[in-house]
Chain A
Amino acid sequence: DADVTQTPRNRITKTGKRIMLECSQTKGHDRMYWYRQDPGLGLRLIYYSFDVKDINKGEISDGYSVSRQAQAKFSLSLESAIPNQTALYFCATSDPNSGSYEQYFGPGTRLTVT
């Protein structure tokens, strides 16, 4: 079974709709992240959470919100989707106690806003 799962894997929605992307992990990691990936721009950080009570904005948080429901669950919401939010979205986790700081990624959600 995958350690980091994301649902849905693909989603097409219309401009103005609210949409939620979900991430679950079984790695037991405290830290979780949401990124978006666009061609030519690489991975950019949207939000990150160091534990259930600690949530922080990344470099491109406008238009997004997050919820950390439990250590294992971190959701990303688009309150009112717009076409330029069409992208690949990835959730990632890391373990601060490992000392190595690498992040482990889920399989991604391909979101299309029409």
Chain B
Amino acid sequence: EDQVTQSPEALRLQEGESSSLNCSYTVSGLRGLFWYRQDPGKGPEFLFTLYSAGEEKEKERLKATLTKKESFLHITAPKPEDSATYLCAARSGGATNKLIFGTGTLLAVQP
């Protein structure tokens, strides 16, 4: 069964304290690993798509990486405005474009 697991469930950082969020996936024929940011009361906002092991993408203080079993979202020198829930999702092989979502990591960055 296709599955996506995120850890930790919650993470509290001090401003400037770098860390990483983990997304482990078990899907047949991965066709993309997606990262989203979700603020309270809002819909998920697309951040990155990764397609193959070794691929990396960056946006401001965020960098996403991908291996054959997991993806990491590295946050470098976070600021309070980076506080949000970060979701990852995997698309398995096939034409349906269905995404399988993890339950998210709630990140709180304290000033």
Distance between Cα atoms of A43 and B97 in the complex (Å): 15
CA distance A56 to B45 in the complex (A): 24
A-B contact count (CB 8 A): 54
Residue from the set A104, A105, A107 with the largest chain B CB neighbour count within 10 Å: A105
For the complex, what is the distance from the CA of A96 to the CA of B97, rounded to whole Å? 9
Q: Please tell me which stretch of B12-20, B60-68, B70-78, B101-109 contacts chain A, meaning at least 4 of its Cβ atoms lie within 8 angstroms of it.
A: B101-109
A79 close to chain B: CB less than 8 A: no
7 smallest beta-carbon distances between A and B, as pairs: A105-B43, A43-B101, A42-B103, A42-B101, A105-B44, A102-B46, A107-B43
Q: How far is the CB of A82 from chain B (nearest CB, A)?
A: 23
A interface residues (Cβ-Cβ under 8 A, vs B): 4, 31, 40-45, 48, 56, 58, 90, 92, 94, 96, 100-108, 110
Query: Which residues of B line the A interface, CB within 8 A?
Result: 31-32, 34, 36, 41-46, 49, 87, 89, 91, 96-99, 101-104
The verdict on A108 contacting B43 (CB below 8 Å), with A42-B102, A56-B96, A103-B99 known, is yes
The interface residues of chain A lying within 8 Å CB-to-CB of B87 are 42-43
